[in-house]
Structure 1
Amino acid sequence: MSVQLDARDPGAADTVELLRELIREGCVNDGTPSSGQEIRSVRVLQRFLAEAVRAGRLETQVLESAPGRASLVARVRGTDPSAPVLGLLGHLDVVPVDPDGWSRNPFGGDLIDGEVWGRGAVDMLYLTAAFACVVRDVALAPAPPRGDLVLLAVADEEAGSEYGIHWLVREHPETVRMTEAISESGGMRMGRHVAIEVAEKGSAGRRLVVHGKPGHASIPYGASSAAFRVGDVLQRLAEVKPAAETGELWNAFVAARIDDPELAERLRDPVRIDAALPMLGGIAGYAHAVSRTTISPTVLRAGAVHNVIPAAGTIDLDIRTLPGTTDADVDDLLAALLGPLVDEVEIVHLRGWAATSSSPDTPLFAAIERSVEAVSGSPVVPIMAAGGSDNRVMRELGVPAYGFGLLAPGWSYERYREGVHGHDERIDVESIDLSLAALRRIVAERVG
């Protein structure tokens, strides 16, 4: 059954219906190898694209990194080998839900009062559906495009992408050959501007190991509990913080979002930023995150049984880094923060990746700017994402990649973050319509 709606883009109804189907598949990724089962959503996309495949205008591959962990690659061939190859990179998996926190079935895909409800609606199934709609329409157009247009609908983004884009890069590198790419983490409103992601922070996880002297818990005298030392390290990390760093993206954020000249001046001064953060309301958390390296203790361990004083304890740190920060820089920062405790702490490297960025001075970014302004009347501001996405993998390959979207007025960054991984996640039809209209313009300009 088709959806009836008032939209500027004729494909909006199909995109909304496809989004609802993807939500209903419930490809929940809890981080275990057998979760996700993205093959279900791949089958939905195959049915949606079937007409273009039958017409011989669209080439598709289904690639499984493990049973059920499937990604779909769909390519429309262009006529000019020298033209850009534009990749539309969407993921199919979603994070788990707590059903008790939802007002509606999180996997119902309900369309209520102009909003599609369900896990993944914002992150990022609405864009994956829009990408598929544009690829299908380009494939079925009377004339082929000038350059290749590629849909990558991948598995496992929510758990680190090992069964998704990383696996494709290793095992099927030909599928990710493109010259530029668009994915998620854009479209929210920053004042009168529309935010487009050009960079994202890196991850440099660390485990701090501290040692003590064990003993029977009934006779603590003479022992030295590692649990106390864990507490000493935590207190030190709470008291000493990484310094703020400003740059072009920070200044662009302040200019777009902050109307008060005096507050803007304070925020541009690294010494005064922290005192000004409480004045930012709901955007303060984002501002804090993108103005420095952040360190968050997440997992604490000490001891195994209640009657033994522990000999060792560990603290796992989620550390998010700014572009240009190296592993050595992180270790030096931790040593400085730990101060007199540093000789008592062993620093172990956990999994991580470098921060990535793409220059806003590219033809693709210029096309995004023109398309967003043409559809919405709003200028674009380049931003850094505090979290991660598959864009980083494309950038590591040397491919400029941007976080795209065009959400309706009223979709501030704060509202966007509440929807991502939150209860009652939903996206309005107007935002789908706007994003689809802007995406068509970008595709037309870049691959024709």
Structure 2
Amino acid sequence: MTAERGGGSGGAEEAIELLRALIREGCVNDGTPASGQEIRSVRVLQRFLADVIALEHVEAHVLESAPGRASLIVRVHGTDPAAPALGLLGHLDVVPVDPDGWTRNPFGGELIDGEIWGRGAVDMLYLTAAFACVLREVALAPTPPRGDLVLLAVADEEAGSSLGMHWLVREHSEIVRVTEALSESGGMRMGRHVAIEVAEKGSAGRRLVVQGKPGHASIPFGATSAAYRMGEVLQRLEEVMPAAQLGELWNAFVDARIDDPALAERLRDPVRLDAALPQLGGIAGYAHAVSRITISPTVVRAGSVHNVIPGSASIDLDIRTLPGTSDDEVDELLVAVLGPIADQVEIRHLHGWAATGSSPHTPLFASIMRAIAEVADAPTVPIMAAGGSDARVLRELGIPAYGFGLLAPGWSYERYREGVHGNDERIDVTSVELSMAALRRIVADRIG
């Protein structure tokens, strides 16, 4: 009987209690350098792994990129230098909450009717806890592993990783050295398939700036409000949609998720795809996002006081790019979208990164597929994530990294996305058990 069908504890009790403890630390990252304070969760993990850290073949480091912005790296050394060094990459920070939107304490870590409630339960503390538990099991086993197993419990993922993985690979490259890795954004169900993230879109933030002629608001004649011109920009952004560009993962997504042959045929046609999106229900947003570059206006600025007509205005764009898209191509796309008003708009570059991906034809991905088949009796489908994760930092170094997880039946992609950054975030015990069972098989296969 598989673990999915069995419904037993699956040896996940420690992971569940560790998850609850991590939630209670409330390491909220609002993007400011002093927020997060992941050192609190690092201390929780240090206490949990105290007997492991004392072992001769285990190496542990607490690394702070700024006061309180700590990451914990624990390496169980293997016996074969030629064997893989498998990284288990989990972040410790969580996004802010609106307590009024929650029916339970978002930092209570309550276990109610088989579900653990709290900010970060899905994104991604349940996996961070599972990673720590499996590393502990490997470290305490009577026989050391063949390859290294490395827990990377890191800071600052939710704000772009500059105080987390980016800093770690730049300042402590040898300590965080791995040859392959598992991280977040996998395990949701796509039909009967289990989705594993092998790629994620890039980010190409832009600020569009327009100029007007300022004046006193009581005498508007002769002045030209930059706010009006920004209104024209917003109208163009709303009316003009980037065309679909179907990459190599698109057909796998359609095959896994769409049962209707006629609908599947329309989705494979870039010309007919957009008209078919409304028929996809809750998965339409994902399908739209991964089939094109997306442009989302997020911050609009014009003026500072009510009685002055603004002479300049700006709008920030969150632009998510497909693999192979260059910065020049993003700027060319914006010029095309703006059309006749493009020469009136200055395009400034904000922070960004390229789309990244790992091949689904590596030994690690093969291990993931075998583990999911054994535990869940389900095939695996490789997908691209619309958002970002720390896995991209490793992929940029040429290291294969995959978004892992094995969520319970019923955890569709839509349900997963509702839990990530949403109100009443929670994970069920069965999903923790299944993920633990699959993770143990992968670790044994790769470095056991």
7-16 or 259-268, larger mean C-alpha shift: 7-16
Q: Which residue of structure 2 lines up, in the alignment, with residue 240 of structure 1?
A: 240
Q: Which residue of structure 1 lines up, in the alignment, with residue 49 of structure 2?
A: 49
Is the CA contact (8 Å cut-off) linking 1:86 and 1:446 kept in structure 2?
Answer: yes
SS in 1 for 2:264: helix
Is the CA contact (8 Å cut-off) linking 1:88 and 1:181 kept in structure 2?
Answer: yes
The yes-or-no answer on 1:276 pairing with 2:276 is yes
How far the C-alpha of 1:247 sits from its partner, in A, is 2.1
Q: Given residue 239 of structure 2, which amino acid in structure 1 is its aligned partner? A: E
The yes-or-no answer on 1:400 pairing with 2:381 is no
How far the C-alpha of 1:8 sits from its partner, in A, is 4.7
The yes-or-no answer on 1:318 pairing with 2:305 is no
The yes-or-no answer on 1:425 pairing with 2:425 is yes
SS in 2 for 1:150: strand
How far the C-alpha of 1:307 sits from its partner, in A, is 1.6
| CA offsets 1:50-72 (integer angstroms, 9 cap, x no match) | 11122334211101111111000
Q: Which residue of structure 1 lines up, in the alignment, with residue 142 of structure 2?
A: 142
Q: How does 1:336-375 map to 2 (within 5 A)?
A: 336-375=336-375
Is the CA contact (8 Å cut-off) linking 2:202 and 2:388 kept in structure 1?
Answer: yes
| CA offsets 1:307-326 (integer angstroms, 9 cap, x no match) | 22111110110000011101
Q: How does 1:155-170 map to 2 (within 5 A)?
A: 155-170=155-170
SS in 2 for 1:36: coil
Q: Given residue 251 of structure 1, which amino acid in structure 2 is its aligned partner? A: N
Q: Which residue of structure 1 lines up, in the alignment, with residue 251 of structure 2?
A: 251
Is the CA contact (8 Å cut-off) linking 1:290 and 1:386 kept in structure 2?
Answer: yes
Aligned partners of 1:109 and 1:9: how far apart in 2? Answer: 19
Aligned partners of 2:60 and 2:7: how far apart in 1? Answer: 29
Q: Given residue 214 of structure 2, which amino acid in structure 1 is its aligned partner? A: P
Is the CA contact (8 Å cut-off) linking 2:10 and 2:437 kept in structure 1?
Answer: no
Aligned partners of 1:53 and 1:128: how far apart in 2? Answer: 17
| CA offsets 1:403-447 (integer angstroms, 9 cap, x no match) | 000000000000000100111110000000000000000000100
Aligned partners of 2:33 and 2:153: how far apart in 1? Answer: 18
Aligned partners of 2:174 and 2:247: how far apart in 1? Answer: 36
The two structures have a TM-score, normalised by structure 2, of: 0.98
How far the C-alpha of 1:222 sits from its partner, in A, is 1.8
Q: Given residue 410 of structure 2, which amino acid in structure 1 is its aligned partner? A: G
User: Which ranges of structure 2 fall in alignment gaps of 5 or more residues?
Assistant: 1-5
How far the C-alpha of 1:213 sits from its partner, in A, is 1.3
Q: Given residue 412 of structure 2, which amino acid in structure 1 is its aligned partner? A: S
Q: Which residue of structure 2 lines up, in the alignment, with residue 289 of structure 1?
A: 289
Give the root-mean-square deviation of aligned CA atoms.
1.0
How far the C-alpha of 1:203 sits from its partner, in A, is 0.4
Q: How does 1:89-168 map to 2 (within 5 A)?
A: 89-168=89-168
Aligned partners of 2:423 and 2:238: how far apart in 1? Answer: 30
Is the CA contact (8 Å cut-off) linking 1:9 and 1:436 kept in structure 2?
Answer: no
Q: Given residue 248 of structure 1, which amino acid in structure 2 is its aligned partner? A: E
How far the C-alpha of 1:7 sits from its partner, in A, is 5.4
Aligned partners of 2:425 and 2:131: how far apart in 1? Answer: 20
Q: Which residue of structure 1 lines up, in the alignment, with residue 264 of structure 2?
A: 264
The yes-or-no answer on 1:38 pairing with 2:6 is no
Aligned partners of 2:395 and 2:47: how far apart in 1? Answer: 31
SS in 2 for 1:388: coil
| CA offsets 1:143-172 (integer angstroms, 9 cap, x no match) | 110000000000010111111111111111
| CA offsets 1:228-279 (integer angstroms, 9 cap, x no match) | 1000111111111100111221111111000000000000000111101111
Aligned partners of 2:128 and 2:7: how far apart in 1? Answer: 19
Q: Which residue of structure 2 lines up, in the alignment, with residue 379 of structure 1?
A: 379
Aligned partners of 1:9 and 1:333: how far apart in 2? Answer: 52
Aligned partners of 1:64 and 1:285: how far apart in 2? Answer: 37
The yes-or-no answer on 1:190 pairing with 2:183 is no
| CA offsets 1:122-181 (integer angstroms, 9 cap, x no match) | 000000000000100000001110000000000010111111111111111112211101
How far the C-alpha of 1:220 sits from its partner, in A, is 1.6
Is the CA contact (8 Å cut-off) linking 2:10 and 2:436 kept in structure 1?
Answer: no
Q: Given residue 60 of structure 1, which amino acid in structure 2 is its aligned partner? A: A
Is the CA contact (8 Å cut-off) linking 2:10 and 2:434 kept in structure 1?
Answer: no
Aligned partners of 2:392 and 2:194: how far apart in 1? Answer: 21
Aligned partners of 2:11 and 2:24: how far apart in 1? Answer: 20
Q: Which residue of structure 2 lines up, in the alignment, with residue 436 of structure 1?
A: 436
Is the CA contact (8 Å cut-off) linking 1:8 and 1:437 kept in structure 2?
Answer: no
Q: Which residue of structure 2 lines up, in the alignment, with residue 3 of structure 1?
A: none
Is the CA contact (8 Å cut-off) linking 1:300 and 1:314 kept in structure 2?
Answer: yes
SS in 2 for 1:246: coil
Q: Given residue 106 of structure 2, which amino acid in structure 1 is its aligned partner? A: P
SS in 2 for 1:248: coil
Q: Which residue of structure 2 lines up, in the alignment, with residue 305 of structure 1?
A: 305
Aligned partners of 1:55 and 1:151: how far apart in 2? Answer: 15
Q: How does 1:212-231 map to 2 (within 5 A)?
A: 212-231=212-231
Aligned partners of 2:219 and 2:40: how far apart in 1? Answer: 58
Aligned partners of 2:206 and 2:444: how far apart in 1? Answer: 45
Q: Given residue 361 of structure 1, which amino acid in structure 2 is its aligned partner? A: H
Aligned partners of 2:56 and 2:116: how far apart in 1? Answer: 33
Is the CA contact (8 Å cut-off) linking 2:109 and 2:116 kept in structure 1?
Answer: yes
Is the CA contact (8 Å cut-off) linking 1:203 and 1:320 kept in structure 2?
Answer: yes
Aligned partners of 1:201 and 1:434: how far apart in 2? Answer: 28
Aligned partners of 1:267 and 1:300: how far apart in 2? Answer: 34
Is the CA contact (8 Å cut-off) linking 1:71 and 1:154 kept in structure 2?
Answer: yes
The yes-or-no answer on 1:389 pairing with 2:389 is yes
Aligned partners of 2:169 and 2:55: how far apart in 1? Answer: 29
Is the CA contact (8 Å cut-off) linking 1:27 and 1:38 kept in structure 2?
Answer: yes
Aligned partners of 1:181 and 1:55: how far apart in 2? Answer: 23
Is the CA contact (8 Å cut-off) linking 2:66 and 2:163 kept in structure 1?
Answer: yes
Q: Given residue 55 of structure 2, which amino acid in structure 1 is its aligned partner? A: A
Q: Given residue 196 of structure 2, which amino acid in structure 1 is its aligned partner? A: I
How far the C-alpha of 1:9 sits from its partner, in A, is 5.9
Q: Given residue 166 of structure 1, which amino acid in structure 2 is its aligned partner? A: H
